[in-house]
Amino acid sequence: MLGARVLRAVIAGLLTSTATGLIAPRSSATQPLGANRLPVRHAHDDAAAAALDSFDDLASLERRLAALDDGVVPKLRGFFDTELKSFALEPGVTRNYSVTSSAICIGALLDADALDEFPAVTKALAEAPWRTDDLLQAPLVVSALARAAVGPPCTDRLAGAVEALLACRPHLRDWRRQKLSSYLTYWLTRALLDVADADLVEFLGIDSMAMAFALKRSFQVARDELCRQLAYDSMGEPADATRVAYSLATYASVGAARDQINAFATRDEVRCDGDGDRDGIEAPNLKLCARALDVFFGAQRDDGTWAPGQKIFVRSRRSFDVGNAFVFSPDALATVLALPLPRAAFRPHVAKIERTCAWLERQDRGGGGWRSDHLEEGSGAPLAWSTAQALQCAGAASKVVGDLLNKRILAEFGGREGKAPDATVFEGLLDSDMASDSLKDILRSRIIEPRTQSGSLSPTAYSAVLFGPPGTAKTTTAESVAAALGYGFVVIDTAVFLEDGLANIASRMAYVFDRLERLRDCVILFDEIEEFCLDRTTPGLGMESRILTTAMLTRLNDLRRAERSIFLQRGVIHINPLATNRLAAFDSAVVRPGRLDMLLFVGTPNLAARAARFEASLPAPDAAIASAVFREFLEETWESDSRFLNFMESERFRAAALASMSESGALSADRLRAILGDVVRTSILRDESAREEYRDNVALTRL
């Protein structure tokens, strides 16, 4: 039983927190929109975090974390038994298959997208002697096998393990005396979510209602435990950082997957749980999550670790080494950092992340890995499971810090962050013909598909020059590629480089490129920067311009080699779209292969795209005849006039044709010819010399 003082603290904390909007009320459906926003933090809230919020600090920390994360394959290879296809707890000590270590190592390899480096390791795990009733092994194995998409050979066993996990779900009637620790509850939940993510529920014959119900109970119990721990903290009682971390992890993970879970079953089908059902799964309350992060990071020790909290097994007669009895600090941090929360929620805690990074750097035992922080320092060799969890921590921290760095850089230059991939705008673009293929086909095969589809055979492009006449949607094209990939997007123009004045342009250029090189998963569009890349052989070009061109060439080359974004000229996105209308003005070294992967002529919309757009605008009864007349007219006048209308001019022609048809009830070639003449008289490419240059530029495309 709880002591009277603690019970009062729990009740007072819950009431106070709910009243202030800190803790989610039982139903969030009626909350105002602002109730689920992150609370505003001020600079004085955390001076240490503010000190690690500069570009230099974030970039330095990201590099340190990336250096640790890059060691996933070489470090884990040191534990790999090539005969057993498993990861030994301690290499050379035993030759038995280590189920727990192997499952955790496979999880780390999946996080790092490096599982292919260890062939047959998942098959060996599926066939290994793991037990479905072991509440540590089973969820770890189920999670690893579900994520690795292991096939039919282990179907029955995997299904049995999932059924065993469902039988161990939390119960409301047990209140705070749950049979499983917060850690094991999280891993049970994580395994079930991974099975659902892999679309294995129906395949394995799992009762979808039982799955939804188990996840719902995990969510409710985790939320209650999280609120309880925060209430302790609010009343001056020590909260258990382990329970906070893993209750938050369960709460946020299930809440973020609520739509998928609700698809399993409807509310009126959910069964009762002894003391009655209460409410469903709601979106995570961001204020509650932010407060939980404050408490978790606030409990960190000066060395970057956390004190032992709740044991992994709360009800067990088995004896454990102290290092195995408690959660490894980097494992807890990795779990928290990988949660589906806004990155801004972690910004106040960057200094604490750096502390753990420093601990990992100090404790890497001869470059071979890590041991649990609950064991004596300096004793024993590295262990496979703790090494894998340390690497997962470095990887998760690297992503968080990298995203915060991205946000900072994009905000400084007026860019926008990436969202969920959406190819709607890209697919809606009017395509243009090139020498051998269309623009959209090339962008799709060289930029989009290599980043979104496994097994793409085309070489990945990171940079390109987009050149062509005005009005051909070069900037829109670059933006649509970013949207299709879910990447961020930023435009860098002449004004950005001249912000500190002409006298300081060299230092400003270094400043800008230092930041662009740290962007990742972003499309950078260099918009009309020809003045900084002028041909150095041009007669009369001053020494300053030549030096500027040389400096720009060097930085473009560095940006390409980083392979973190795409940059385009006129435009950049870890493609390099240089959006420009004057390819000839560039120094020859700018467009040389190696610095820019492709030269893409962005021409006027092609005939097929214009005809399709016109047909889509027609009322259904008139579509067939009118679209045929329109297409025949385009074919007849293509080389003489129609081809040379840019997007806006083509839109004027289409709109006028539709208006004429609406007035007269039909469409004729004579009327189209009159409309075309009106548009051509003010078109950009009306002169024959401009049209000849257009034809010549088409041939300059280089893939």
The yes-or-no verdict on residue 443 having pLDDT over 70 is yes
The yes-or-no verdict on residue 460 having pLDDT over 60 is yes
Distance CA 604, CA 3 (A): 77
Query: pLDDT confidence of 20, banded at 50, 70, 90?
Result: very low
- Show the CA angle centred on residue 556, arms to residues 576 and 604, nearest 5°: 30
Check residue 478 and give its pLDDT: 93
Q: List, in order, residues 6 or more apart from 696 with CB less than 8 Å away.
A: none
Strand partners, 465: 569, 599
Check residue 563 and give its pLDDT: 84
Check residue 41 and give its pLDDT: 44
Check residue 267 and give its pLDDT: 46
Higher pLDDT, 576 or 47: 47
**Cβ atoms of residues 229 and 246 within 8 Å:** no
In which element (H, E) is residue 524 found? strand 522-527
Region 558-574 average pLDDT: 68
Distances (CA, A) of 104 to 88, 249, 310, 398, 534: 11, 18, 20, 19, 54
Distance CA 439, CA 432 (A): 6
Q: Quote the tokens at residue 4.
A: 């009277």
User: Minimum mean pLDDT among 451-460, 575-584, 620-629, 639-648: which range?
Assistant: 575-584
pLDDT digits (tens, 9 = 90+) for 263-286: 776 544 444 444 444 567 889 999
% the chain with pLDDT above 90: 55
Query: pLDDT confidence of 566, banded at 50, 70, 90?
Result: confident
pLDDT digits (tens, 9 = 90+) for 131-181: 888 999 999 999 999 999 876 657 888 999 999 999 999 998 887 888 999
Chain mean pLDDT for the chain: 84
Q: Indicate the pTM of the whole model.
A: 0.84
Distances (CA, A) of 264 to 19, 211, 257, 258: 33, 8, 11, 10
Higher pLDDT, 106 or 279: 106
Contacts 24+ apart (CB under 8 A), 501-509: 505/548, 506/547, 506/548, 506/551, 509/548, 509/551, 509/552, 509/555
The number of beta carbons lying within 10 Å of the beta carbon of residue 578 is 31
The yes-or-no verdict on residue 682 having pLDDT over 60 is yes
Check residue 375 and give its pLDDT: 72
Region 575-602 average pLDDT: 62
pLDDT digits (tens, 9 = 90+) for 661-677: 888 888 899 999 999 99
Query: pLDDT confidence of 577, banded at 50, 70, 90?
Result: very low
Check residue 592 and give its pLDDT: 67
Region 465-481 average pLDDT: 89
Query: pLDDT confidence of 689, banded at 50, 70, 90?
Result: confident
- Name the E strands within 361-504: 463-467, 488-493
Query: pLDDT confidence of 314, banded at 50, 70, 90?
Result: confident
Region 78-103 average pLDDT: 87
pLDDT digits (tens, 9 = 90+) for 486-516: 999 999 988 998 899 988 988 999 999 999 9
Check residue 32 and give its pLDDT: 36
Check residue 152 and give its pLDDT: 60
Region 554-574 average pLDDT: 71
**Which one, of 247, 250, 251, lies nearest residue 232 by Cα?**
247
Distance CA 418, CA 486 (A): 5
Distances (CA, A) of 77 to 71, 334, 384: 10, 21, 10
Higher pLDDT, 594 or 228: 228
Check residue 317 and give its pLDDT: 54
**Which one, of 182, 166, 257, 179, lies nearest residue 224 by Cα?**
182
Check residue 468 and give its pLDDT: 84
Distance CA 27, CA 526 (A): 48
Region 315-341 average pLDDT: 81
In which element (H, E) is residue 112 found? none
Distance CA 311, CA 329 (A): 13
Query: pLDDT confidence of 549, banded at 50, 70, 90?
Result: confident
Distance CA 563, CA 569 (A): 16
Distances (CA, A) of 320 to 316, 324, 387: 10, 6, 19
Check residue 1 and give its pLDDT: 40
The number of beta carbons lying within 10 Å of the beta carbon of residue 29 is 9
pLDDT digits (tens, 9 = 90+) for 124-133: 999 998 988 8
pLDDT digits (tens, 9 = 90+) for 361-420: 999 877 789 988 877 655 678 999 999 999 999 999 999 999 999 999 999 999 999 999
**Cβ atoms of residues 323 and 375 within 8 Å:** yes
Query: pLDDT confidence of 543, banded at 50, 70, 90?
Result: low
Q: Quote the tokens at residue 647.
A: 């997007």
**Cβ atoms of residues 166 and 266 within 8 Å:** no
The yes-or-no verdict on residue 252 having pLDDT over 50 is yes
The yes-or-no verdict on residue 586 having pLDDT over 80 is no
Distances (CA, A) of 33 to 37, 61, 227, 288: 8, 35, 22, 15
Check residue 470 and give its pLDDT: 83
Distances (CA, A) of 589 to 143, 562, 585: 51, 19, 12
Region 222-248 average pLDDT: 96
Region 24-39 average pLDDT: 40
Phi, psi of 601 (to 5 degrees): -80, 120
Check residue 315 and give its pLDDT: 67
Check residue 376 and give its pLDDT: 66
For the chain, the farthest-separated pair of C-alpha atoms sits apart, in whole angstroms, at 93
**Which one, of 416, 445, 441, 437, lies nearest residue 427 by Cα?**
441
DSSP letters for 320-379:
--HHHHS--HHHHHHHHHTSSS-GGGGGGGHHHHHHHHHHHHHH--TTS----TTSPTT-
Residue with tokens 């960057």: 350
The number of beta carbons lying within 10 Å of the beta carbon of residue 111 is 20
Check residue 533 and give its pLDDT: 65
